[in-house]
Amino acid sequence: MTNKLHPALIAFTVLVFFFLVGPLVIVIGSALSDTTYLTFPPQGLSLRWFENIFQISAFRRTIITSLQIAFLSTFIALLIGIPAAYALNRYRIQLPGWLSTLFILPVLVPELVLGFSILKNVAAQFSAPIFLSLVIGHSLLVLPYVVRVISASLASFDFSIEEAAISLGSPPLKTFFTILLPNVRSGVIAAFILSFITSINDVSISIFMTGPGISTLPIQILAHMEQFFDPTVASVSVLLMALTVAVMAVVERTLGLTFLAK
Amino acid sequence: MTQNLSIQNITAHYGTTKVLEDLSLDIAEGELVSLLGASGCGKTTTLRLVAGFLEPTSGTIELGGKDLTRLPAHQRNIGLVFQNYALFPHLSVADNVGFGLKQRGISGEDKAKRVGAMLERVGLAHLADRLPGALSGGQKQRVALARALVIEPPLLMFDEPLSNLDAKLRVDMRVEIRQLQRANGTTSVYVTHDQEEAFSISDRVAIMHAGRIMQLDTPEVLYQRPANAFVARFVGFENLIPMKVVARDGAKVTAEMAGGVKLTLGLEHFGAIPDSFILACRADGLAVTDNVNLEGIPATLGLRTYLGRAYQYQCETGAGLLLANGPLTRPLDIGANAKLVPVPEQCTILAPEAEA
C-alpha cells in the first residue's frame, strides 16, 4: 500500500522547509561573499570576513564574555531551577498553585522591562559590576526555561521510586543524586541547551547592562552593524550557528537526540 | 530476624483533616495482616506512617520493641513493595535488587551471590541484565519483591502490590507472595482494597473505614461473624434487618421488624439477644418457600436471577427489599407470594447502628 500525498501538502511542506532553511542559507552565503557590503547571492568566495572577526578585538572579547555569561548563568539557573522544579512537583498538592506561575514570570514580563528593572534596582542601586549584573540578568532570564523543562520531565517521574530507594536505606539527599537526577538527565541537558542558547542570543537584557569595557556578542554585532555594513556580522552569525550545532552534536553523540522527544 | 510490629494510639492529620483516629494494631512475629478498605479509609496512610514517609500527630510505632516513631525512613529497615513497582528505571534488574545491599555496605562477590540467589528464588535469574522497561508487569513485581526481600527486613509492607496486574496473574502472584512470606517468616502488612485477595493471603485482616479499624480478625470470623453492620455489609451480608424484642420465653425470643412481622429466634443459635438488634444474613441465609404457612417474612417475589447453585429473588417485604435464595428444583414466578425463612446457622445478630 502506498500513501498518496496531496500535491498541496507537498507544496506546503516545501514552503515550510524554505521558510526554515532559507534565512540560514542567505546568512551563510552572505558571510562567504568577497564584497565589502552584505549581499546575496555572494559575489566571489572568501573567508576573509571570518578572519576579520578575530582581527577585531571587540569581537574576540565579547565572544569570550558571552560564553562565560552563558555558562555561569545557566549553571546558576540549574542550581536554583532543579531544586525548585523538584519541590514544585514533589509537593504539588501541598503548595499553592500560584507558586509555579511565579517561576515563569520572567518570561511573561517583557524582557525590556526585566532588563530595565535589573539595571535600576541591581546594577545602579548597588553599583554592581557590569559582569555580575549581566550574570544576574541572564540567570533570571533562563530560570523559567530550566524550571519548565525539568518540571516536564519530573511530571512523568513516579516519586514512589524515590521512596523505594529511601526505604532500602538510601538517605534522602543521596537518593536525589543517585536516583532522581539520573532519571531526569535528559531534562537537565535539554534545560542546559535551551538556557545556554537563550543567554548567548540575548539582546534586550544585555543592552541595559553592557557598558564601557564589557559587552556581549549580540550587542557587539549591533554596534558593529551601526558603523559597518560588511559581511562580518553574517560571519559572526555563522559562527554562532556553528556553536549551537556543535553543542547539539556533542549531545547527539553522548545521548542521542531522541531525548528531546521525551 | 523477623519482629513484631506494634502500633499504639496513632492519630494522623493531612493539614487539618484527620485521617487516622486513635488507631492501634499489633502484629505478631511472622504474621501477615492485611489492611482492607475503600480508598480514603486510611490504610495507605497507616502503611506510610510505619514506613516513615508521614509523621503521626500522636501515638507510637514500635518494631521488635524499638521505637520507630521519629526515626527517619531510611533508617527503618523495612521492605516495601509498591503498587506501581517503583523500580529504578536506569538500573538493571540485578542492580535494582542489589540497591539495598549496596546501601548496607555489601558489595562485590557477597552482593552478587545474594542478588543471584534472590533472583533465582523469584525465577528471574535469566533477566538479571535487563532494564525494568523491558519487563512485563508480573516480572516487574517479582523484581520489586526480590528487592525488598534481599535486605532481609524484619518487616515487609505491600501497598496494593497486585492492582496493576491482570486477574489471572494476580491470583498466581498472591500465592507466590504468601509462599515467600511464609518461607521467610517475615512479619508483613498488606494493604489492599480487594476483599478476596486480603482474605486469601492473610492470617488476619483489619477492615478499615474513615480512619479506624472496624474489625480485626481472621478471615473466617470476619466472613461468618462480622462484629458490626459496616463489616457485615462489607463482607457481603445483603440483608440487615433492624428488629426489636417483644417477648422473651426461656430459650425463645420473639422479635418484631418494620411492617409488624414477628420472628421467633432461638438463643441456642445466637447467644444473648439485646432488646434492639439487627438480624443480618446473606441471601443464602434467607430461604424462599412458597409454603406460606411456615413462620417467616411474608414477601412478594420480584426479579429472579439464576446463580448456578440457586435462584436469587428480589423480595418486597414489610421491612423493605430483601435478597433471598430459593431451590433450583422449584423456580417461582415474579409476583408470587412466598415466605422468607431465616436459616439460623447463616444468620448473625449485630448491635443496632448508631443514629447518623
* pLDDT at position B354 over 80: no
How far apart CA B56 and CA B46 sit, in angstroms, is 9
SS3 A216: coil
Percent of chain B clearing pLDDT 70 (strictly above): 99
Q: Do B87 and A167 touch (CB under 8 A)?
A: no
Q: State the nearest Cα–Cα gap between B74 and chain A, in angstroms.
A: 4
* pLDDT of the residue at A193: 87
* pLDDT of the residue at A256: 56
Tens of pLDDT, residues B157-200? 999 999 888 888 899 999 999 999 999 999 999 999 999 999 99
User: Pick from A94, A172, A179: which is nearest to B88 by CB?
Assistant: A179
Please return the burial class of B348, using the count of CB atoms within 10 Å of its CB with bins 0-12, 13-18 and 19+: buried
Mean pLDDT in residue range B230-259: 93
At A95, is the pLDDT very low, low, confident or very high (cuts 50, 70, 90)? confident
In a domain, A163, yes or no: yes
- Please state whether beta strands B78-81 and B155-159 pair in parallel, antiparallel, or not at all (unpaired): parallel
Contacts of B88 in chain A (CB under 8 A): 161, 164-165, 179, 183
Q: Do A158 and B90 touch (CB under 8 A)?
A: no
How far apart CA A39 and CA B91 sit, in angstroms, is 55
In a domain, A33, yes or no: no
In a domain, A171, yes or no: yes
Residue of A nearest to B97 (CA): A168
In a domain, A29, yes or no: no
Tens of pLDDT, residues B307-350? 999 999 999 998 899 999 999 998 999 999 999 999 999 999 99
* pLDDT of the residue at B356: 45
* pLDDT of the residue at B1: 62
Tens of pLDDT, residues B20-71? 999 999 999 999 999 999 998 999 999 999 999 999 999 999 999 999 999 9
Distances (CA, A) of B151 to A58, A85, B28, B77, B104: 63, 32, 20, 8, 9
Tens of pLDDT, residues A239-252? 888 887 887 777 77
For chain B, what is the mean pLDDT?
Answer: 93
Mean pLDDT in residue range B209-216: 94
DSSP string covering B119-148: HHHTT-GGGTTS-GGGS-HHHHHHHHHHHH
* pLDDT of the residue at A40: 80
* pLDDT of the residue at A257: 52
SS3 B57: coil
Mutation pick from B99, B111, B118 vs chain A, by most beta carbons of A within 10 Å, is B99
Tens of pLDDT, residues A185-209? 888 988 988 898 889 888 888 888 8
3-state helix, strand, coil in chain B (%, to 5): 30, 35, 35
Mean pLDDT in residue range B231-242: 94
- Please state whether beta strands B58-63 and B337-342 pair in parallel, antiparallel, or not at all (unpaired): unpaired
Q: Do B99 and A165 touch (CB under 8 A)?
A: yes
SS3 B52: coil
Tens of pLDDT, residues A111-137? 888 888 888 887 778 877 888 889 999
Mutation pick from A90, A156, A159, A167 vs chain B, by most beta carbons of B within 10 Å, is A167
Mean pLDDT in residue range B228-235: 95
Mutation pick from A168, A173, A176, A262 vs chain B, by most beta carbons of B within 10 Å, is A168
* pLDDT at position B135 over 70: yes
A172 touches chain B (CB under 8 A): yes
Residue of A nearest to B155 (CA): A167
A245 touches chain B (CB under 8 A): no
User: How many CB atoms lie under 10 A from the CB of residue B107?
Assistant: 11
Q: Do A164 and B80 touch (CB under 8 A)?
A: yes
* pLDDT at position B306 over 90: yes
Q: CATH number, domain at A180?
A: 1.10.3720.10
* pLDDT of the residue at A32: 86
* pLDDT at position B104 over 50: yes
* pLDDT at position A1 over 60: no
Percent of chain A clearing pLDDT 70 (strictly above): 96
In a domain, A48, yes or no: no
* pLDDT of the residue at B242: 93
Tens of pLDDT, residues B285-302? 999 999 888 899 999 999
Q: Comparing C-alpha atoms, which of A63, A111, A109 is closest to residue A207?
A: A111
Q: Do A164 and B79 touch (CB under 8 A)?
A: no
| Sequence-ordered list of residues with C-beta below 8 angstroms from that of B118, at least 6 positions apart, any chain | B97, B146, B149, B150
Mutation pick from B19, B44, B80, B156 vs chain A, by most beta carbons of A within 10 Å, is B80
Please return the burial class of B278, using the count of CB atoms within 10 Å of its CB with bins 0-12, 13-18 and 19+: buried
Q: Comparing C-alpha atoms, which of A94, A98, A202 is closest to residue A145?
A: A202
ipTM, 2 decimals?
0.85
Contacts of B106 in chain A (CB under 8 A): none
Amino acid present at B47 = L
* Alpha helix (H) residue ranges in chain B: 43-51, 93-103, 108-121, 137-149, 167-184, 195-201, 219-224, 229-234, 267-270
Q: Do A170 and B74 touch (CB under 8 A)?
A: yes
Please check whether residue A170 is in contact with residue A185, taking contact to mean a CB–CB distance below 8 angstroms: no
Contacts of A259 in chain B (CB under 8 A): none
Cell triple for A98: 500560584
* pLDDT at position A260 over 60: no
Cell triple for A124: 545602579
A181 touches chain B (CB under 8 A): no
Length of chain A equals: 262
Domain hosting A253: range is: 56-261
* pLDDT at position A261 over 60: no
Query: What φ, ψ does residue B111 adopt, rounded to 5°?
Result: -60, -50
Domains of chain B (ranges plus CATH)? 5-233 (3.40.50.300), 237-350 (2.40.50.140)
The helix (H) or strand (E) run that includes residue A114 is helix A111-118
Please check whether residue B213 is in contact with residue B206, taking contact to mean a CB–CB distance below 8 angstroms: yes
* pLDDT of the residue at A126: 81
Domain count, chain A: 1
A255 touches chain B (CB under 8 A): no
In a domain, A121, yes or no: yes
Task: Pick the more confident residue, A228 or B114.
Answer: B114
Q: Comparing C-alpha atoms, which of B119, B118, B133 is closest to residue B88?
A: B133
Tens of pLDDT, residues A49-90? 888 888 888 888 888 999 999 999 999 999 999 999 999 998
